[in-house]
Structure 1
Amino acid sequence: MPTVKNGSVVYAAHPEGHIEPDVHLKYIESEIDLESMPLNGGVLLKTIALSSDPYLRYRMRDPNVPHFVPAFDLGMPIENSGIAIVVRSDDPNFKSGDQVSGMLEFSDYSVFPGTRPMALARPLRKVEKIPGHPLSIYTGTLGGAGMTSYQGLKGFASEKVKTSKTLFVSGGAGPVGTFVIEYAKVMAPHLKIIASAGSAAKVEIMKDCGADVAFNYKEQDAEAILSEHGPIDIYWDNVAGPTLDAALINFNSEGLIIACGAISQAAHKDGSVVRHFEEIFQRSLTVKGFLLARGEAAHVLSSFYDEVIPLVKQGKITSREHRYSGLKSAGKALRDVHTGDNTGKAVIIVDEEYL
Structure 2
Amino acid sequence: MVRNRSLRYVSHPEKGIEPAVHFKLVDDEIDLDNAPLNGGVLLKTLYVSSDPYIRYRMRDPEVQTFCPPIQLGDPVDNGGAGQVVRSEDPNFKPGDYVAGYLEFAEYSVYPGRIKHFYKRPLRKVQKLPNVPLSIYLGTLGMPGTTSYQGIKYFASGRLKTAKTIFVSGGAGPVGTFVIEYIKVLAPHIKVIASAGSPEKIKILKDVGADVAFNYRTEDTAKVLETHGPIDIYWDNVAGSTLDAAVKNSSTGGLIIACGAISQTSHDANSVVRNFDEVFKRSLTVHGFVVFQGESAVVVPKFHEEIIPLVAQGKITSREHRYHGLEEAGKALADVHSGGNTGKAVIVVAEE
TM-score, scaled relative to structure 1:
0.97
**Superposition pairs for residues 7-26 of structure 1, below 5 Å?**
7-26=5-24
CA distance, structure 2, for counterparts of residue 145 and residue 209 of structure 1 = 16
Tell me if structure 1 keeps the 8 A contact 2:196–2:216: yes
CA distance, structure 1, for counterparts of residue 293 and residue 233 of structure 2 = 19
Q: CA deviation at 1:118?
A: 3.8
In structure 1, the residue corresponding to 2:240 is in which secondary structure?
Answer: helix
Q: CA deviation at 1:129?
A: 1.2
The match for 1:104 is 102
Q: Which runs of 5+ in 2 are unaligned?
A: none
Q: CA deviation at 1:23?
A: 1.2
**Superposition pairs for residues 187-202 of structure 1, below 5 Å?**
187-202=185-200
CA distance, structure 2, for counterparts of residue 269 and residue 99 of structure 1 = 41
Q: CA deviation at 1:273?
A: 2.0
The match for 1:68 is 66
The match for 2:162 is 164
Q: CA deviation at 1:116?
A: 3.2
Q: Is 2:130 aligned against 1:115?
A: no
The match for 1:37 is 35
1:336 to 334, 337, 340: 334
AA matched with 2:245: A
CA distance, structure 2, for counterparts of residue 300 and residue 69 of structure 1 = 21
Q: Is 2:315 aligned against 1:317?
A: yes
Q: CA deviation at 1:272?
A: 4.7
Q: Deviations over 1:182-235 (max 9, x none)?
A: 001111000000000100110010000000000000000000000000000000
CA distance, structure 2, for counterparts of residue 309 and residue 133 of structure 1 = 11
1:183 to 173, 181, 185: 181
CA distance, structure 2, for counterparts of residue 269 and residue 101 of structure 1 = 34
CA distance, structure 1, for counterparts of residue 187 and residue 273 of structure 2 = 33
Q: Which runs of 5+ in 1 are unaligned?
A: none
TM-score, scaled relative to structure 2:
0.98
The match for 2:257 is 259
CA distance, structure 2, for counterparts of residue 206 and residue 258 of structure 1 = 19
2:222 to 221, 224, 228: 224
The match for 2:246 is 248
CA distance, structure 2, for counterparts of residue 115 and residue 257 of structure 1 = 39
CA distance, structure 1, for counterparts of residue 118 and residue 295 of structure 2 = 19
- Aligned-residue Cα RMSD (Å) equals 1.0
In structure 1, the residue corresponding to 2:66 is in which secondary structure?
Answer: coil
In structure 2, the residue corresponding to 1:22 is in which secondary structure?
Answer: helix
AA matched with 1:81: G
AA matched with 1:181: I
CA distance, structure 1, for counterparts of residue 256 and residue 80 of structure 2 = 26
Consecutive aligned runs of 4 or more in structure 1 exceeding 6 Å deviation: none
CA distance, structure 1, for counterparts of residue 343 and residue 38 of structure 2 = 34
Q: Deviations over 1:224-263 (max 9, x none)?
A: 0000000000000000000000001101001000000000
